[in-house]
Amino acid sequence: MILDVADLSVDYYAGRPARAVAGVSFTHHAGEFLGIVGESGCGKSTLLFGIAQLLSPPAEIAGGTVTFAGKNLVQLSAKELRAVRWRDFSVVMQSAMNALNPVKSIAAQYEDVMRAHGTRDRAEIRERSREVLKLVRIDPVHLKSFPHQLSGGMRQRVMIAMALLFSPELIVMDEPTSALDVVAQRSLMVQIKELQRELGFAVIFVTHDMSLVSNFSDRLAVMYAGKFVELGQTRQVFAEPLHPYTKGLLEAFPSIYGPRVQLEGIPGAPPNLADPPSGCRFHPRCPAVMPQCKDVDPPVVVVEGTEVRCLLYEEKVSGVA
Ligand code: SF4
């Protein structure tokens, strides 16, 4: 195990505090690919920023721990965090155009990162920069390029290469393919998976597109209104989704196999996190809602290896997480 997130909560303080991440717990293992999916506004990017300790006001960690390689990142000072971040785990942001500095060449930006972590030797910096660009199949000649001279797919690959500069154990990725067309998305996902197999790093990958991670993640977490409502092996979650929200998400995108069926959406909208519904946060939208759902916050139960937060499974449980 390389990462242990325990009861992590994040609040936004803008007027009434809004709990965007509400008591999320999970463990992550070396070389594993975890996909985190959910609608926009469900808290998945905030969770990722909370794990990487990149939150800034008005967001604040309200409780819980993030233990990475034996250290609770929540308690580290900014200086201590800078030493761990990028060297031991790195982050790939949603939009490379925003994450990259537009007025510096790729070489200069890689050099900044390596110098910030103590590498001073120019030949070593140049050699490593060439190596990581080759890993993502970009000709090192582009080290001289500026971000605007590259395509969207290349910019994201440049970001991934930057994340690999120190061969970290873990890379957290916040919707890195969202600005790309479907062909470029697929190609980037295949490349991330190949790199992961070759170099052995673990990935936490946040996306709103469940189909995107279906072939790539080992485990899948489904997030709703700041909580994980289902967490299990990806194949199992797709084959036998347990939570009504997961079922709704799966019914909302088309399958290329089987007969044509009318797609069903999920009625309603995600709740206001400053004033979430009582009991189960999904109850106003749930097609299987029961009277007790309005009052009882469902605990996590384990059903055949999958963790689920739903009162439908209370009596069928084989264990409580
Ligand atoms: Fe639906 Fe109730 Fe389960 Fe919530 S606890 S998902 S409202 S059945």
The pLDDT of residue 299: 93
- Is residue 228 packed enough to be buried (19+ CB in 10 Å), middle (13-18) or exposed (0-12)? buried
Average pLDDT, integer, range 288-309 = 93
Summarize pLDDT for 240-288 with one digit per residue, the tens.
999 999 998 888 777 767 777 777 778 888 898 888 999 999 999 999 9
What span, in angstroms and rounded, lies between the C-alpha atoms of 121 and 115? 9
Question: Does residue 96 surpass a pLDDT of 80?
Answer: no
The pLDDT of residue 91: 87
Q: Which residue has the higher pLDDT, 270 or 10?
A: 10
Q: Domains plus CATH for the chain?
A: 3-88+169-272 (3.40.50.300), 101-165 (no CATH)
Both tokens assigned to 103: 């007025």
For residue 318, name the pLDDT band (cuts at 50, 70, 90).
very low
Both tokens assigned to 28: 């992550």
The pLDDT of residue 278: 93
CA of 8 to the centre of ligand 1 (A): 22
Q: Which of 67, 66, 45 is nearest to 56 (CA)?
A: 45
- pTM of the predicted structure, to 2 decimals: 0.88
Whose alpha carbon is nearest atom 6 of ligand 1?
Answer: 310
Question: Does residue 319 surpass a pLDDT of 50?
Answer: no
Residue 240: partners with Cβ closer than 8 Å, 6 or more residues away: none
Q: Which of ligand 1's atoms lies nearest the C-alpha of 311?
A: 5
For residue 316, name the pLDDT band (cuts at 50, 70, 90).
low
For residue 136, name the pLDDT band (cuts at 50, 70, 90).
confident
Partnered with residue 21 across adjacent β-strands are 10
Q: Which of 228, 211, 187, 198 is nearest to 31 (CA)?
A: 198
Ligand 1 site: residues with CB under 6 angstroms? Answer: 243-244, 280, 282-283, 286, 288-290, 293, 298, 310-312
The pLDDT of residue 320: 46
CA of 321 to the centre of ligand 1 (A): 18
H helix intervals, 34-150: 44-51, 78-84, 96-99, 106-116, 122-135
What H or E segment, with its residue span, contains residue 20?
strand 16-28
What span, in angstroms and rounded, lies between the C-alpha atoms of 169 and 71? 14
Residue 316: partners with Cβ closer than 8 Å, 6 or more residues away: 303
Q: Which of ligand 1's atoms lies nearest the C-alpha of 283?
A: 7
Whole-number CA gyration radius for the chain: 20
CA of 216 to the centre of ligand 1 (A): 29
What H or E segment, with its residue span, contains residue 206?
strand 202-207
Whose alpha carbon is nearest atom 3 of ligand 1?
Answer: 310
How many helical (H) and strand (E) elements, i.e. helices and strands, does the chain have? 10, 13
Q: Which of ligand 1's atoms lies nearest the C-alpha of 244?
A: 6
Q: Which of ligand 1's atoms lies nearest the C-alpha of 287?
A: 1
Both tokens assigned to 209: 């597109």
Q: What is the residue whose two structure tokens read 């199949």?
A: 137
CA of 154 to the centre of ligand 1 (A): 43
Is 179 within 8 Å of 10 (Cβ atoms)? Answer: no
For residue 193, name the pLDDT band (cuts at 50, 70, 90).
confident
CA of 225 to the centre of ligand 1 (A): 13
Q: Which of 264, 46, 270, 295 is nearest to 175 (CA)?
A: 46
For residue 17, name the pLDDT band (cuts at 50, 70, 90).
confident
